[in-house]
Structure 1
Amino acid sequence: MMNKILVVDDDRIIGEMLKFVLESKGYLAFISDKPEQTVDNILQNAIDLVMLDQFIFGVSGIEVCKELKENETTANVPILMMSALSGVKKKCLTAGATDFISKPFEMKTLFLKIETILKQAKV
């Protein structure tokens, strides 16, 4: 069964690029630039992993992350947070992110993190 990944990022180009590379690796990717729809997106599409940008149109990805972790229906969905800002990793992890990746990232690093997170989630 294909793992489903939701990418929440307001950068359309990054979203499309990630969708392309994720699908080339056999994942089913969903792209959203609307962080307020993240809970609905997770539930409607049975998402296995959320890739969440730390800053989206003035919305804090950290707040979105906390919201997902506080919601019973989405609390167990792993979140990989990403950011081009330095020094936010700790904040993201404190908010409940499973892992963090700095932008720009190497695809190899990204896929290692995704595979590790999904393996741990299955345990």
Structure 2
Amino acid sequence: MDKKILICDDDEDILSICTYILEENGWNVHTRNHCKNIVETVEEIMPDIILMDNWIPDMGGIKATQAIKSTPSLSKIPIIYFSANNDVKALARVAGADNFLAKPFDIEELEKIVASVLNK
């Protein structure tokens, strides 16, 4: 069965690039450019991993990540927090994310971190 990835980012170029790269690796990618109804979205898709942007409309990445992690049926889904913010590591910790990726990122770095989380 294909692994499902949900990418939440308001930058359409990031969504397109990440989708292309991750689908080339055989993963099934879903994207959202907002965090409206994030818990319902995650429940509907039930991804194996989530890539969450920090500056995303509606509630922002921190609150969206916290909402997902505080929902018992979703709390075990790994979330990789990604942002161009200089303090992405600290933001990921505050959000409760499982890992982080600083933007701009190298394609190989994206593939490596997603694969490492999916293969745990």
Scaled by the length of structure 1, what TM-score is found?
A: 0.90
Give the superposed CA RMSD. Answer: 1.3
- C-alpha deviation, 1:9, in angstroms: 0.4
Task: Check conservation: 2:81, 2:100, Cα contact below 8 A.
Answer: yes
- C-alpha deviation, 1:58, in angstroms: 6.3
1:1-123 paired onto structure 2 within 5 Å = 1-57=1-57, 59-120=59-120
Runs of 4+ in 1 over 3 A off after TM superposition: none
Aligned length: 120
Matched to 1:18, the amino acid is C
Q: Secondary structure at the match of 1:55?
A: coil
Summarize deviations over 1:37-84 as a string: whole Å, max 9, x none: 322222212210000001113632011111111111211110001000
Matched to 1:46, the amino acid is M
Q: Secondary structure at the match of 2:74?
A: coil
Q: Distance in 1 between matches of 2:69 and 2:21?
A: 27
Identity of aligned residues (%): 28
Q: Secondary structure at the match of 2:72?
A: coil
Task: Check conservation: 1:16, 1:31, Cα contact below 8 A.
Answer: no
Scaled by the length of structure 2, what TM-score is found?
A: 0.92
